[in-house]
Amino acid sequence: MNIKDNIKTIIIKKPLKLDCGQIIKNFPLAYETYGSLNEKKDNAILVCHALTGDQFVTGLNPITKKDGWWSYAVGPKKSIDTNKYFIICANVIGGCMGSFGPGHTNPETKKIYGTDFPVITINDIVNAQVNLLDHFGIKKLFSVVGGSMGGMQVLQFVSNFPEKAKTAVPIACTSSHSAQNIAFNELGRQAITADHNWSDGKYFLNNSVPEKGLAVARMAAHITYLSKKGLQEKFGRKLQERDTLKFSFDADFQIESYLRYQGSVFVDRFDANSYLYITRAMDYFDLTKQFNGNLSDAFKGCKTKFFIISFTSDWLYPTTENREIVIALNAIGADVGFIEINSDKGHDSFLLNIPDFLNAVKNFLNNSYNNIHETRI
């Protein structure tokens, strides 16, 4: 997959010390933008993508030739209105869509990193992304928005840079990765490394890919993005293009066929090593621990206006974990709003056409933007 021709990148020359202790510099950060930055440069929104997302938020993805991962929410007259706001999204470091990652060449050895790439954290990802503000001459974002792992980045961004975002919208996320979620990620990593094409992460030397392992990792993860009710209503026990059981290990059921399809298309657009590194970054995320067990301290002195969103059927990042963030913000008198959206679509609800959710985001952003400008007048 040749992606270079369709990727915008900046080279971050400033040294960045990673949490693992290594220092990186002169590394690429890939990004995409939508809409126009106004003259005052006060209409910028940084969108942070989730585990398998990328910088191509909306419109046609030039690499996959499919709609961007948040086309329901971002675009002209949509919840995040590109006629009104300037949208920036960076591919996370460790990713495989142009930013510095395991598929890049180590300048010291002149060889592709593979699993010699340094282990990264959400903190590292955010500290790399903030360079985009300098690139565009933006002193302060109007908002930073993201769901799932993107929501983790939102929390870390505001904690690291309390003066750089007027509003923040963390969606369906958590302040620390639970044991259950670490377990699911480990299942995926083990599936990848058990593949006979894995080759200790050097599969590219053999011009091969651990396709089966990566596909299984995607299948397992995808189940966690859905809900029991949603799966039952959509698939139930329906058979796949047959009237009777085949008494074999082919995909008898529609849900089996669906998961196999999700796994097969995923390997065409994502790198196995990137999957390992990004899931590890998610597992290491613990904002509470960063502040010695007091989550409120992560946001002390912060003037950002928060709007936290969860979904009733999300069992991956349940409402209880989102409420913990609200409680921590309330404890320091932060400006915070919260809504739990009724949806049977599970964790993936934030990516889907859920009118109550899309309207909530739209109203919060537009009202906040209008209030800021009315105050100036």
**Pairing outcome for strands 74-75 and 80-81:** parallel
The catalytic residue among 177, 313, 344, 347 is 347
Which among 281, 282, 300 has a CA at the least distance from the CA of 291?
Answer: 300
How many residues comprise the chain? 377
List the domain boundaries for the chain.
4-177+286-376, 182-278
Instruction: Give the mean pLDDT per block of 10 residues along the chain (377 residues).
Output: 72 97 97 98 98 97 94 98 98 97 95 97 98 97 98 98 97 98 98 97 96 97 95 93 89 94 95 98 97 96 96 98 98 97 97 98 97 72
- The answer to whether residues 188 and 222 touch, using CB atoms and an 8 Å cutoff, is no
Three-class DSSP category at 16: strand
**Residue 183 token pair:** 């377990």
**pLDDT computed for residue 372 by the predictor:** 85
Fold of 4-177+286-376: Rossmann fold (3.40.50)
CA–CA gap between residue 224 and residue 262 (Å, rounded): 13
**For this structure, is 222 an active site residue?**
no
The three-state DSSP-derived secondary structure of 294-362 is CHHHHHCCCCCEEEEEEECCCCCCCHHHHHHHHHHHHHCCCEEEEEEECCCCHHHHHHCCCHHHHHHHH
Per-residue burial over 118-131, b = 16 or more CB atoms within 10 Å of its CB, e = otherwise: bbbbbbbbbbbbbb
Closest to 86 measured CA to CA, from 133, 40, 37 = 37
pLDDT of residue 346: 97
Residue 301 phi/psi, 5° resolution? Answer: 80, 0
Q: Is 347 a catalytic residue?
A: yes
Return the CA Rg of the chain.
Answer: 21
Cβ atoms of 267 and 64 within 8 Å: the answer is: no
Q: Rounded distance, CA 33 to CA 200, Å?
A: 36
What class, spelled out in words, does domain 182-278 have in CATH? mainly alpha
Q: Write down the pLDDT at residue 373.
A: 78
Residue of 143, 148, 175, 368 marked catalytic: 148
The catalytic position among 81, 124, 314, 344 is 314
Alpha carbons 219 and 145: distance in angstroms, whole number: 27
Residue 148 among the catalytic residues: yes
